[in-house]
């Protein structure tokens, strides 16, 4: 398992680990107001090649994520996740051979790196990132940064097979009261979890979700609700581990928070 190493002062990512997140927003100003009030984030706005805005989100002067404006105003917002790979072209071809539907073919993003995006065979959208000057988030597993990624899927076994074949993940099954829960490693590092979409969620589509670490889960939920968010899963304890909650922001994007994990 190779490491993507971009210099002594930059974070390195093992291939197959999640390295970046982007919020696609139909109302970037409203999204910025919500997240900078909820978390101690600052923003730096730039412009993409097509003229739309691109906002880099920082915590303590470290890049943690980004936001871009959706082509159609007032579209429901959504968080997208990126996985680090060594060669995005090779990985994209492998994804297609394993049944993925390519949404954005491999493309170069100036000197920052190269990316592609696809739907996996169960319908979940995810992106791959081959680093250039930009390796991804400058901090992980710290308060107000990405802490975990989890796939809710319509076909647990098919999803597990796809990502293990694509990324070389190893798998372990974790006892859980709510049904099968799978955890995956990229080399020595835990990369993600997966579980089946419960019947109580009706016709929910497969999708990747991301968790941000917070100091106190209940306080963050109360703050989010005061700012206009909706609680999807209230603060829930995992015995001996920690507590998590899932929210929907006022522009429609789903995200989770957790502490203690």
Domain that holds residue 125: 3-131
Query: Do residue 163 and residue 97 come from a single domain?
Result: no
Read off the pLDDT band of 1 (50, 70, 90).
very low
pLDDT surpasses 90 at 60: no
The residue from 84, 105, 131 where one domain ends is 131
Q: Identify the weakest region by mean pLDDT among 36-40, 67-71, 182-186, 229-233.
A: 67-71
Cα–Cα distances in angstroms (integers) from residue 136 to residues 4, 152, 153, 243, 260, in the given order: 11, 24, 25, 26, 24
Query: Do residue 9 and residue 103 come from a single domain?
Result: yes
Query: Do residue 162 and residue 237 come from a single domain?
Result: yes
Q: Could you give the number of structural domains in the chain?
A: 2
Q: What average pLDDT does the segment 148-166 reach?
A: 97
pLDDT surpasses 60 at 200: yes
Residue 139 lies in a domain: no
d(CA 96, CA 175) in angstroms, rounded, equals 32
211, 21 in Cβ contact below 8 A?
no
Q: What average pLDDT does the segment 175-202 reach?
A: 88
pLDDT surpasses 70 at 9: no
The pLDDT value recorded for residue 194 is 97
Q: Is 258 exposed, middle or buried (0-12, 13-18, 19+ CB in 10 A)?
A: buried
Residues 6+ apart with CB under 8 A from 97: none
The pLDDT value recorded for residue 7 is 35
pLDDT surpasses 80 at 26: yes
pLDDT surpasses 80 at 202: no
Residues 6+ apart with CB under 8 A from 197: 152, 153, 154, 204, 206
Q: Can you give the C-alpha Rg of the chain in angstroms?
A: 17
d(CA 199, CA 206) in angstroms, rounded, equals 13
d(CA 141, CA 193) in angstroms, rounded, equals 15
Query: Do residue 158 and residue 49 come from a single domain?
Result: no
CATH of the domain at 238: 3.10.180.10
Q: Coil, helix or strand for 175?
A: coil
Query: Do residue 15 and residue 59 come from a single domain?
Result: yes
Tell me the average pLDDT of the chain: 91
More confident residue, 72 or 197: 197
- Digit-coded pLDDT (tens) for 73-101: 777 899 999 999 999 999 999 999 999 99
Q: Identify the weakest region by mean pLDDT among 15-19, 86-90, 110-114, 199-203.
A: 199-203
Query: Do residue 17 and residue 108 come from a single domain?
Result: yes
pLDDT surpasses 70 at 47: yes
Q: Is 199 exposed, middle or buried (0-12, 13-18, 19+ CB in 10 A)?
A: exposed
Residues 6+ apart with CB under 8 A from 9: none
User: Which strands form 18-25's sheet, in the order they lie side by side?
Assistant: 42-47, 53-59, 62-69, 18-25, 78-84, 125-131, 113-119, 101-109
């Amino acid at each position: 398992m190779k490491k993507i190493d971009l210099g002594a002062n930059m974070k390195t990512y093992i291939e197959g680990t999640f390295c970046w997140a982007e919020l696609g927003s139909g109302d970037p100003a409203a999204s910025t107001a919500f997240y900078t009030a909820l978390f101690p984030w600052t923003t730096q706005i730039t412009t993409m090649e097509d003229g739309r805005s691109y906002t880099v989100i920082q915590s303590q002067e470290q890049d943690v994520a980004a936001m871009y404006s959706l082509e159609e105003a007032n579209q429901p917002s959504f968080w997208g996740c990126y996985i680090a790979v060594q060669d995005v072209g090779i990985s994209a071809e492998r994804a297609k051979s394993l049944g993925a539907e390519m949404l954005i073919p491999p493309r170069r993003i100036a000197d920052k790196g190269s990316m592609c995006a696809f739907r996996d065979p169960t319908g979940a959208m995810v992106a791959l990132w081959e680093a250039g000057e930009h390796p991804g988030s400058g901090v992980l597993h710290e308060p107000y940064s990405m802490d975990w990624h989890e796939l809710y899927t319509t076909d647990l076994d098919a999803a597990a097979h796809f990502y293990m074949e694509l990324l070389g993940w190893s798998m372990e099954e974790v006892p859980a009261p709510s049904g099968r829960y799978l955890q995956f490693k990229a080399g020595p590092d835990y990369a993600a979890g997966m579980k089946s979409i419960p019947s109580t969620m009706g016709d929910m589509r497969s999708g990747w979700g991301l968790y941000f670490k917070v100091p106190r889960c209940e306080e963050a939920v109360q703050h989010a609700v005061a700012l206009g968010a909706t609680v999807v899963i209230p603060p829930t304890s995992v015995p001996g581990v920690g507590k998590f909650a899932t929210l929907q922001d006022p522009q429609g994007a789903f995200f989770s928070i957790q502490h203690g994990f």
